[in-house]
Amino acid sequence: MLLAAFFILVVALGVAFDVLVGFGGVAVGAAVAIAIAMSIGSYFWSDRIALAMSHARPADPVEHRRLHNLVDGLCIGAGLPKPRLYVIDDAAPNAFATGRDPEHSAVAVTTGLLDKMDRIELEGVLAHELSHVKNRDILVTTISVVLVGVVALLADWSLRFFFWGGPRHRNDSSEGRGPAAILGILGFVLIIFAPLIARLMHFAVSRRRESLADFSAVKITRYPPGLVSALEKLRDDTSVVHSASRATAHLWIESPLERKRARGAWLNRLFDTHPPLEERIEALKEL
């Protein structure tokens, strides 16, 4: 459904651009080609893009023995193949899972998470990320990283072209000017609101999945206080992941973006991809 919505939105962008500029169907054909290419590419390579954007490096089995041991045990208990493990050099405690299925998955954790969590808390966080793998959330959330970014870039490029280049072909005859003007207005509105529509698609697949992954993690560890303690530490820690962006924010166990002090923090709160940590903690305590 996400890929279908992305395909329709990109083609609609192409139609809007064609109406505004008058390329005679070229923009529509280009939009169809882009939608097909990005749908295929995001399915097979979006996990690599997400890891590269986060500056993740493979976790050395010797240097990060505790991480590998915990994941080995959790995978046996959950009946999952072991994912590829990555480490991100960042003091902020956080983690995310990515991939397209359990056989092609990866889990990345920050050095801050490894340093600040004890064994039980780290096990809870890792169980949460493995729950995303087991529930197959990773395909949807990882693909949306690429799709939302592509829609935003296409809309931005279209607006820049329209403002700076302008329509190349205008119909100066009075006949048909009214319908063309209406289509032009609709196209312009679509181009402006396409990134917002893409973000709404983004939110639709992330907030509920975080809460579901919390409960699934408890099923794996059989110990709710471990994840509760980890979430409380994440709540009290005010550091942010430097390599994170709005495109990848929904992947992490909690929002990696600044939401209190920095300029634009209000925007991060407005478009928060995660349920409040307090709600998640209270829900787990009720177990």
- The stretch 171-185 carries a mean pLDDT of 54
- Cα distances (Å, whole numbers) of residue 276 to 135, 217, 223, 254, 281: 21, 18, 21, 9, 9
Distance CA(79)–CA(250), nearest Å, equals: 25
Active site residues: 129
Q: Are residues 36 and 58 in the same domain?
A: no
Residues 273, 216 share a domain? yes
Dihedrals φ, ψ of 88, to 5°?
Answer: -115, 125
- Same domain flag for 131 and 169: no
In contact, 93 and 233? CB cutoff 8 Å: yes
What is the C-alpha to C-alpha distance for residues 45 and 265, in angstroms, rounded to an integer? 30
Q: What is the CATH number of the domain that holds 244?
A: 3.30.2010.10
Based on the domain organization, do 121 and 74 belong to the same domain?
A: yes
Residues 144 and 265 in one domain: no
C-alpha distances in Å from residue 219, one per residue of 43, 156, 184, 230: 29, 44, 53, 16
**Statement to judge: residues 27 and 57 lie in one domain:** no
Tokens standing for 156? 């931005």
- pLDDT band (50, 70, 90) for residue 190: low
| Same domain? 32 vs 87 | no
- Do 189 and 70 belong to one domain? no
Residues 82 and 119 in one domain: yes
On whether both 239 and 252 belong to a single domain, the answer is: yes
- The CA distance from 284 to 275, in Å, is 13
Are 173 and 260 members of one domain?
Answer: no
How long is the chain? 287
pLDDT in tens, 119-151: 999 999 999 999 999 999 888 888 777 777 777
Residue 15 confidence (pLDDT): 81
Question: Of 64, 109, 66, whose CA–CA distance to 91 is shortest?
Answer: 109
| Residue 174 in this model has a pLDDT that exceeds 70 | no
For residues 160-180, give the mean pLDDT: 55
> How distant, in Å, are the alpha carbons of 73, 101, 143 from that of 38?
36, 18, 10
Mean pLDDT over residues 18-27, rounded? Answer: 74
**Residues of the domain holding 125:** 49-138+206-285
Residues 36 and 148 in one domain: yes
CB 236 within 8 A of CB 285: no
Q: Which of 90-94, 170-174, 255-259 has the lowest mean pLDDT?
A: 170-174
Per-residue pLDDT reduced to its tens digit, 65-95: 999 999 999 999 999 999 999 999 999 999 9
Do 161 and 52 meet the contact criterion of CB atoms below 8 Å apart?
no
> Where is the domain boundary, 148, 182, 204?
204
Question: At which of 157, 187, 204 does a domain end?
Answer: 204
- Cα separation, 9 vs 119, in Å, equals 45
Last residue of one domain, picked from the residues 165, 181, 204: 204
Q: How many domains does the chain have?
A: 2
Angle at 112 between CA 106 and CA 116, to 5 degrees: 115
Question: How high is the pLDDT of residue 176?
Answer: 46
Q: How far apart are CA 9 and CA 99, in angstroms?
A: 24
Give the tokens for residue 48.
């690599």
